[in-house]
Structures are given as structure tokens and as C-alpha cells.
């Protein structure tokens, strides 16, 4: 697989169509979100899929709803690289090339599919247009020919440049669902707030066996509009002891520094997972491995060493929770990167699988976790309450579970944030991506989480 050369970043603007082959576009980005792609030299014709093949056909206001859906794509994080993009269809498939034809297929998560489904923006033939080169065959671009879409070798000719140039347009079939909160495949969201701004740290999903390698950060003031801050830690270059399984990040602030706790493993040889900690001066990184070795090694304790989470109590003491199969907690030392092993406690409640999360409200501590397997539609969130961050814990019930009538399967691995200065709480979680996801193709959603007068948590009704 070859890595594309430095990307030309395009500034896309709406406006009257002027076809001037050979004129370079001004600089801009390919914004994530729901879009339609109009041909530069066949105005009124749009990129779409039909019987699984990529095509270019006219679309008008009078076209069928199916045609409009087929001509609408969500620009998402590149399945093979965060430097490029993938185009997801409204029925959850991905535009990819095979035998040099463009077609749509479900993401298998293997590296070949992810590369075939990743495209990088290049200057289009006219101002305000773009061209998409292949991630794994950078000399080839998406181009229309005989009403079909092909991945053809770039030719520096006016005809080729025009055939391979498209304008980003408002979507023919706008999004109707609220979710996902950030476009694309992400999971295990850690939603928190620092200095009055929300930050979201998810696992990058869409990889077979969850073999992703990097974390991105997003931030927002309203939980609706999110800024993508790019990659904040990449196991490959940044972590000597891990090169895959970049799972379940959690970020905590202390003394002006930000600590990112994460799980990681090695693709070759040792397949076990370890927990590490990285540090940065800003919530959006860049983070650097704080220890140069795991904070918790595989096998050091029973259960899988994954899914770290830090809760800091009102007195400033931080606690580290972690584990799959068994839940543990230990007070962190003030340096946030060490602890006294003699103080580690097992706190596994009945039904616990993974994804421990702790919050405090009105002097009650809430210990929350995920039950069942993330590949199961029955993956769900349960909780207990207790008088201290260490328990003892009394299980109270299920907070969040599948809602098949709304197409919601496997909601879990959550986090909870309080709107700063209020008693309004939000729960972030992942679920099978709607409509075509599964346990390795997940998306992030956020819903309100409310408390009863007695302090128990009302079951969350997840919204699509
Ligand atoms: O995303 C990889 C793993 O899947 C997480 O560590 C688990 O909690 C489960 O969500």
C-alpha cells in the first residue's frame, strides 16, 4: 500500500458554474458531513450508486426518493487514513474501487477494503471543484466515463480533468437522524469537559478485530457542532510498546496537564493488551507516551488490561478504574502516572464485562459499566451506587439498552458529562452504526441522562 503525497486542500464554494478546464481551484478542505457531488462538465448529473455500481446520472427535484438517497453521501474520516476521506452511502455502505470500477460495499474492516474505500482531495478543474485520487493508487482518480464511475490513471488533459472534477452540493437526501454526533465510525466515546468546552475522545472504528492505531479528539460548545482536532496519539510513531488495538481513550486534567489513558497491543507476537498513559499541555494534544512502557501490563492482574477511566473526586484525589472480565480501582499518585499496587481493589459487580465509568452527584457515587459483548445487540449499560469512589457498590439496574424499533443495537461503552454549572447530564455511547453497522463498525451517539428524585437513574431512551 502506498501513502499518497501531500494533499492539495481545496476551498469549495457555492456559486455559478463556470467550466474552465485547466484552472486550479483555490485552497480549501473537504468538509465532513452529508453531501451530493455534481459533475463539473455535466451539470445536473450527480455521483450516485445504482445496483451497487458507481454511476453519474441526472438528478432533479422530481427524481424519486431512492435516486436522491443514492446520490447522497456522508464524507467521513478515511477508513485507511485520517488524512483522507471515505464516502458512506445513506444505506451505510462505502464507495470503493474494485477492478477500477467504483462500487458500494459493506466495510469488511480489512486493510485492502479500507484502502480501496479511501480517497484524497485534489484540485479540481475549476474553482470550487475537487477531484478524488485513490489512497492506494494515488496516480488514479475517480472519473466519469460512459455514465459509469471509474478509477482511471490521471491524464493532464482538459477532458480528463473535467471528467474527474465534482462540486460539493447540498445533499439531495438530507440527514434525518440526530446521530451519529461525529460522522463516521467511532466507538468507546469518552465525553468530558475542560474549561467550559466539551471534548470527545473515541476509539477509531471500522477495523477488523478492532485493530485501529490512532485516536482523534473532537470539541464542541453545544454537543451538536463538533470541531475535528485530528490525530492526538498514533500508536505507530508515538508508542514504542503498542502498534494496534488503540482502544477506549479517557482523558483527565491535573495541574495544567492532560493525561490520556489508553489500551494498546502489538500486532505481531504478543497479542495481549496493556494500558498506557500519555501526557499533553492541551486537551487536543499532541500527547506523548508518559512512561515509555505500559502503566498496567497484560497479566499483571486477572482480566484483560483495557478500558481505563479516571474519576477525580472533589478533594482532588484521582482514581483509575479499568478491566474487561474484572473491574479494578486504585488511587492514582499525584503524578497521575503511577500508583501503589498494594491499594488495587477488585470491584467487579454482577453482570460486569467492561467499560467502567464513575461519576458523583449529590454525594452519591455512581459506578457504571457495560454488560455482554460489544458484538452483541444486547450490549448495554448498567450501574450501581455507593458511598465512596471505592464502593461498596449496590447494583441498581440497566440504564441503556437496545431499541430495535428505532434500529438501535448494542448501545454501550459510555461516558457521562454534566453540562458545566448545571444539573443537566448527557450520556455518550456507541452502538452498531445505523443502518449497516456491527460490533466493529460502530458510531457515537449522545442522549440526555436524567435522575429521579431518589437519585436513581432513569432508563435512557436512545434516539437514532
Ligand atoms: O473498541 C474496542 C473494545 O470494544 C473496547 O475496549 C471495549 O470496551 C469494546 O467496546
> Which residue out of 188, 205, 228, 289 is catalytically annotated?
188
Q: List strand residue ranges (DSSP E) for 162-305, in order.
A: 166-169, 186-194, 197-204, 214-220, 227-234, 244-254, 257-265, 273-280, 288-289
Q: Is 62 exposed, middle or buried (0-12, 13-18, 19+ CB in 10 A)?
A: exposed
Q: Tens digits of per-residue pLDDT, 24-56?
A: 333 346 888 999 999 999 999 999 999 999 999
Pick the CATH number of 8-169 from 2.80.10.50, 3.30.930.10, 3.40.50.2020, 2.70.98.60: 2.80.10.50
Specify whether the CB–CB gap between 388 and 367 falls below 8 A.
no
For residue 374 and ligand 1, the question of a CB distance below 6 A is answered with yes
Provide the pLDDT confidence category of residue 10 given band limits of 50, 70 and 90. Answer: very low
**Residue 412 CA, closest ligand 1 atom number:** 10
Kindly give the distance from the C-alpha atom of residue 294 to the centroid of ligand 1, in angstroms, as a whole number: 18
Whole-number mean pLDDT of the chain? Answer: 93
CA dihedral 362, 367, 372, 377 (to 10 degrees): 30
Q: What is the pLDDT of residue 9?
A: 29
Pick the CATH number of 186-449 from 3.50.50.60, 2.60.40.420, 2.60.40.10, 2.115.10.20: 2.115.10.20
Q: Tens digits of per-residue pLDDT, 419-435?
A: 999 999 999 999 999 99
SS (H, E, C) 55-85: EEEECCCCCCHHHHHHCCEEEEECCCCCCCE
Specify whether the CB–CB gap between 125 and 165 falls below 8 A.
yes
Kindly give the distance from the C-alpha atom of residue 358 to the centroid of ligand 1, in angstroms, as a whole number: 17
Is 354 catalytic? The answer is yes
Q: Tens digits of per-residue pLDDT, 141-183?
A: 999 999 999 999 999 999 999 999 999 999 999 988 888 999 9
Outline where 81-203 has alpha helix (H): 111-116, 158-163
CA atoms of 201 and 287, how far apart (whole Å): 13
Name which of 351, 360, 425, 349 is nearest 388 in CA terms: 360
Q: What is the pLDDT of residue 451?
A: 98
Kindly give the distance from the C-alpha atom of residue 422 to the centroid of ligand 1, in angstroms, as a whole number: 30
For residue 122 and ligand 1, the question of a CB distance below 6 A is answered with no
Is 152 catalytic? The answer is no
CA atoms of 371 and 233, how far apart (whole Å): 28
Q: What is the pLDDT of residue 270?
A: 63
Report residue 362: phi and psi, to 5°. 50, 45
Q: What is the pLDDT of residue 177?
A: 87
Q: Are strands 33-39 and 214-220 parallel, antiparallel or unpaired?
A: unpaired
First to last CA, the chain: 36
Specify whether the CB–CB gap between 241 and 266 falls below 8 A.
yes
Measured over the CA atoms of residue 349, residue 352, residue 357 and residue 360, the dihedral's sign is negative
Whether 18 shows a pLDDT value over 60: the answer reads no
Specify whether the CB–CB gap between 291 and 283 falls below 8 A.
no
Residue 90 DSSP SS3 = coil
Cα 115–chain centre separation: 17
From residue 16, how far is each of 127, 129, 166, 198, 323 by CA, in Å? 11, 12, 14, 38, 57
Which single residue is written with the C-alpha cell 485552497?
27
Cα 98–chain centre separation: 25
Fold identical between 8-169 and 186-449?
A: no
Task: Note the pTM of the prediction, 2 decimals.
Answer: 0.93
Q: What is the mean predicted confidence (pLDDT) over 126-131?
A: 95
Kindly give the distance from the C-alpha atom of residue 415 to the centroid of ligand 1, in angstroms, as a whole number: 13
Provide the residue ranges of all domains of the chain, joining segments of one domain with +: 8-169, 186-449
Specify whether the CB–CB gap between 369 and 381 falls below 8 A.
yes
CA atoms of 357 and 275, how far apart (whole Å): 16
**Residue 370 CA, closest ligand 1 atom number:** 8
> Which residue out of 70, 354, 371, 447 is catalytically annotated?
354
**Residue 354 CA, closest ligand 1 atom number:** 8
Amino acid at each position: 500500500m502506498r501513502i499518497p503525497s501531500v494533499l492539495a486542500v481545496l476551498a469549495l464554494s457555492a456559486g455559478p458554474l463556470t467550466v474552465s478546464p485547466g484552472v486550479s481551484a483555490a485552497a480549501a478542505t473537504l468538509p465532513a458531513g452529508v453531501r451530493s457531488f455534481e459533475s463539473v462538465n455535466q451539470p445536473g448529473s450527480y455521483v450516485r450508486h445504482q445496483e451497487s455500481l458507481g454511476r453519474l446520472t441526472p438528478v432533479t427535484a422530481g427524481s424519486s426518493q431512492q435516486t436522491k438517497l443514492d446520490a447522497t453521501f456522508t464524507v467521513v474520516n478515511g477508513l485507511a487514513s485520517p488524512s483522507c476521506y471515505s464516502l458512506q452511502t445513506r444505506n451505510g455502505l462505502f464507495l470503493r474501487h474494485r477492478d477500477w470500477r467504483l462500487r458500494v460495499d459493506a466495510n469488511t474492516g480489512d486493510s485492502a477494503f479500507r484502502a480501496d474505500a479511501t480517497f484524497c482531495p485534489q484540485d479540481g478543474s475549476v474553482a470550487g471543484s475537487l477531484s478524488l485520487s485513490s489512497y492506494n493508487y494515488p496516480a488514479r482518480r475517480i472519473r466519469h466515463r460512459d455514465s459509469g464511475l471509474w478509477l482511471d490513471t490521471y491524464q493532464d488533459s482538459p477532458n480528463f480533468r473535467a471528467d474527474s472534477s465534482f462540486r460539493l452540493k447540498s445533499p439531495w437526501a438530507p440527514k434525518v437522524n440526530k446521530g451519529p454526533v461525529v460522522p463516521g465510525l467511532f466507538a468507546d466515546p469518552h465525553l468530558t469537559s475542560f474549561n467550559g468546552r466539551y471534548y470527545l475522545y473515541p476509539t477509531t472504528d471500522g477495523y477488523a478485530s478492532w485493530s485501529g492505531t490512532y485516536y482523534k479528539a473532537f470539541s464542541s460548545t453545544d454537543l451538536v457542532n463538533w470541531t475535528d482536532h485530528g490525530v492526538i496519539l498514533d500508536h505507530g510513531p508515538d508508542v514504542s510498546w503498542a502498534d494496534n488495538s488503540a482502544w477506549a481513550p479517557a482523558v483527565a486534567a491535573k495541574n495544567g496537564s492532560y493525561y490520556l489513558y489508553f489500551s494498546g497491543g502489538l500486532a505481531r507476537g504478543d497479542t495481549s493488551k496493556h494500558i498506557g498513559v500519555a501526557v499533553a499541555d492541551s486537551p487536543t494534544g499532541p500527547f506523548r507516551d508518559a512512561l515509555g512502557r505500559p502503566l498496567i501490563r497484560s497479566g499483571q492482574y486477572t482480566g484483560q488490561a483495557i478500558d481505563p477511566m479516571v474519576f477525580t473526586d472533589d478533594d482532588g484525589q484521582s482514581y483509575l478504574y479499568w478491566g474487561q472480565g474484572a473491574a479494578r480501582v486504585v488511587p492514582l499518585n499525584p503524578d497521575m502516572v503511577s500508583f501503589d499496587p498494594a491499594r488495587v481493589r477488585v470491584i467487579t459487580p454482577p453482570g460486569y464485562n467492561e467499560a467502567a465509568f464513575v461519576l458523583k452527584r449529590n454525594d452519591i457515587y455512581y459506578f457504571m459499566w457495560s454488560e455482554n459483548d460489544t458484538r452483541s445487540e444486547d450490549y448495554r449499560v448498567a450501574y450501581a451506587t455507593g458511598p465512596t469512589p471505592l464502593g461498596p457498590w449496590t447494583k441498581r439496574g440497566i440504564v441503556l439498552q437496545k431499541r430495535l424499533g428505532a434500529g438501535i443495537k448494542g448501545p454501550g461503552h459510555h461516558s457521562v458529562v454534566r453540562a458545566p454549572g448545571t444539573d443537566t447530564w448527557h450520556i455518550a455511547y456507541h452502538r452498531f452504526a445505523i443502518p449497516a453497522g456491527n460490533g466493529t463498525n460502530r458510531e457515537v451517539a449522545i442522549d440526555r441522562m436524567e435522575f429521579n428524585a431518589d437519585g436513581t437513574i432513569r432508563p435512557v431512551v436512545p434516539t437514532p
